[in-house]
Amino acid sequence: MQKRKYNEEVLTKGDLADLKGLPKKVNLGEQKRRISAQVEAGKAHIEGDESLGKLCVTALRTSGEFKRATQGFHTYPARLHPEAARLLLEALPGKSLGDPFCGGGTLLVEALIQGREVHGSDLNPVATLVATARTALLSSQQLNELEALFDSIYRTACASLDNKKRIFLPSSILKYKDWYKTQCFEELAALFDATRSVESELKPLCQAVFSSLVVKYSLRASDTSNKVVYIARKKGAVVDAYADKAREYLTQLRELQTLVPPGTNPADITLSDARFLRFHNVDTIITSPPYPGTYDYLPLQQLRQAWFDLDMNEDSEIGSRRSFKSKRNAYEGWLKDTDDWMASAANALAIGGKIAIVVGEGIQAGRSLKVAKPTMNAAQRAGLKFVCSASVDRKDPATNQKKIEYILVFEKSSETPKNILPKHDLNESRGLGAKNSDIREIRTFSSREHRAEDSEIRRMRDDHQDERRMRDNQRDERRMRDDHRDDRRMRDNQRDDRCMRDDQRDDRRMRDNQRDDRRMRDNQRDDRRMREDQRDDRRMRDDQRDDRRMRDDHRDDRRMRDNQRDDRRMRENQRDDRRSDRRSRDDHRPETMQAKKTRRFGEAYRERHEKTEDARDSREERPRRRFGDAFRERHQENDTHAGKFLKTTHGKRGVFDPKNADKKEK
């Protein structure tokens, strides 16, 4: 159900009605196949030069895969087999070759390999693009430059896809977006954007490589069928295929350079109508004009027309299938077009040159459209002499009916024969009956006895004129209605384009708003994170500062205890020094009674004081182990105050002082 709904959307979207390109059927699981082999040939028939006819029959019977140089590059519908082109070139020698319907350039490539001067033209711009790419003769430096261009396009497309770059595409391309899967369309758009930015004389070759992928990676079954097929594609399949096709094309170009003789001029390919050729005085013309009612060459390229914005002059196409379906006089138009392009080809052919025409019958409404006799008559009217005719029978795979394919060879002699044809042949070839000639003969024999018949003839002629006028008026009305319908369609398309542009603008705005919202939320989140980081930094710095302060306090405590210990040691040392001095003096003088009393009192106090200091040291150790640094600081402060008190108290009690002792003795 989902696939059916998608197909209905494809049917309703896109202006494909004029191109007859709407998909009529959806085939699920069907695979695209490229069948290059022709239908097997049947019975052969030869007229004229038998030896040349046998070579032509051999050319008609060639089939199968054939890849040489650039012949396998880029598909093109209804191409001439390369081996058949080579055989025809060998059968019709000459220095120069012209092909009014060059198509994909099969004949031109084979002529270059034989070292001929090559001229080609076609009304289809896609055909001239493919033919130009196939016949490109490049130097080693140009090949290296082309390889660098391919690599640059590939890298640019990959970067655009990775960065999700927004690519502007014309409405002509977006109209056919439903003919592609989303991933394939995005990759083709990236390659298209990278290709159109190239500024080089080799840009058409890059466009040709891109053109070879346009139909292959769409939903179309092939270049000649608008049936829809669905094939699974991996991500990156299109850009990888572009790189592979570019490498393959470079290999084919290098092979072509080795096969073409040195000094061969590049091919001259022009976008022009075969009825107005731009090349002149060529030795040989080999061409294959469109078979009547078989293909619509220009509408088949609607996808490439959209991507490259090509101007397809569809009204000038010769023998298109749509004209035979829509016009009653399409066969007469094809006969007139055959006369015109044959006259132009005869003017472009040098005297003594030969022209070979590969043409086949068409089938319309179950009946064959004859081509051999009208082509011979057109050649005779153009002043060409018949040389030979070779034909083979084939079965049309679509209708299973027999068709005849011809190779007609003519020669331009020095003397142009007079254009004399039997009246019945001329009228039959143009699709006219014998009534007009009968009417003219009856009119020439009008007399008094036949006035009644003449009046009847005049009335019949007037009736015919009235009928023609009525048909002309009806045709004019149909054209006017068609013009009105086309105008409505154009206005509808313009309205749809405006709506689509508005939708795209709204989508862009919505995406921009969403992006701005995301950015704002990201900025807010970043701000919160930054503030949290700053708060964490402040906390960390505060912790570090507290750690430093604690370490500084510990260090100061240790220093203070060390200083106190050093002070005690210094006082002890001073006391010991004073005692030793006093003892030394006492040893050298007689001891008085007062000195003895003083010495005894001093020794008793010293012993008592030493016991007091030992007890104090033991009291100092116990709280240090028991309560820690806080109690130790408080205890040190108490010791300090106690020391001051002892000094004052001991001084009052009369602690031994050598200086005072001396004074008292005196």
Which residues, in sequence order, are CB contacts of 428 under 8 Å at separation 6+?
none
Spatial separation of the C-alpha atoms in residues 108 and 120, rounded to whole Å: 7
Cα–Cα distances in Å, from 534 out to 389, 538, 547?
96, 6, 20
Residue 661: its pLDDT value, please? 47
Residue with tokens 């939708």: 503
pLDDT digits (tens, 9 = 90+) for 378-397: 999 999 999 999 999 887 77
Least confident of 394-403, 513-522, 592-601: 592-601
pLDDT digits (tens, 9 = 90+) for 585-617: 777 766 566 666 666 666 777 777 777 766 666
Spatial separation of the C-alpha atoms in residues 638 and 651, rounded to whole Å: 20
User: Does 428 have pLDDT greater than 50?
Assistant: no
Buried b (16+ CB within 10 A) or exposed e, 59-69: bbbbeeebebb
Residue 370: its pLDDT value, please? 87
Average pLDDT over residues 539-568: 93
Contact criterion met (CB below 8 Å) for 284 and 52: no
Average pLDDT over residues 472-499: 88
Closest-CA residue to 642 (of 616, 607, 611, 605): 616
Contact criterion met (CB below 8 Å) for 484 and 476: no
pTM of the model: 0.59
Least confident of 28-37, 90-99, 243-252: 28-37
Residue bearing the bigger pLDDT, 331 or 395: 331
Average pLDDT over residues 627-654: 54
Residue 170: which pLDDT band, with cuts at 50, 70 and 90? confident
Spatial separation of the C-alpha atoms in residues 337 and 359, rounded to whole Å: 14
Contact criterion met (CB below 8 Å) for 267 and 135: yes
Least confident of 90-99, 363-372, 539-548: 363-372
Average pLDDT over residues 424-447: 34
Spatial separation of the C-alpha atoms in residues 362 and 321, rounded to whole Å: 9
Cα–Cα distances in Å, from 569 out to 218, 535, 560, 577?
103, 50, 14, 12
Closest-CA residue to 348 (of 264, 272, 274): 274
Residue with tokens 């254009």: 419
Average of per-residue pLDDT values in the chain: 79
Residue 318: its pLDDT value, please? 85
Where are the strands (E) in 259-361, listed by range?
A: 268-271, 282-287, 349-360
Residue 627: which pLDDT band, with cuts at 50, 70 and 90? low
Tell me the range of 217-231, 415-429, 610-624 where mean pLDDT is highest: 217-231
Closest-CA residue to 44 (of 410, 404, 409, 408): 404
User: Does 537 have pLDDT greater than 70?
Assistant: yes
User: Does 32 have pLDDT greater than 60?
Assistant: no
Least confident of 165-174, 327-336, 424-433, 590-599: 424-433
Average pLDDT over residues 185-199: 91
Contact criterion met (CB below 8 Å) for 77 and 224: yes
User: Does 31 have pLDDT greater than 90?
Assistant: no
Residue bearing the bigger pLDDT, 483 or 592: 483
Residue 72: its pLDDT value, please? 87
Counting residues of the chain whose pLDDT is more than 70, the rounded percentage is 76
Contact criterion met (CB below 8 Å) for 393 and 42: yes
User: Does 267 have pLDDT greater than 80?
Assistant: yes
Q: For 197-273, where are the alpha helices, taking DSSP H only?
A: 203-214, 237-259
User: Does 13 have pLDDT greater than 50?
Assistant: no
Main-chain phi, psi angles of 190, to 5 degrees:
-65, -45
- Chain centroid to CA 572: how far? 99
Residue 639: which pLDDT band, with cuts at 50, 70 and 90? low
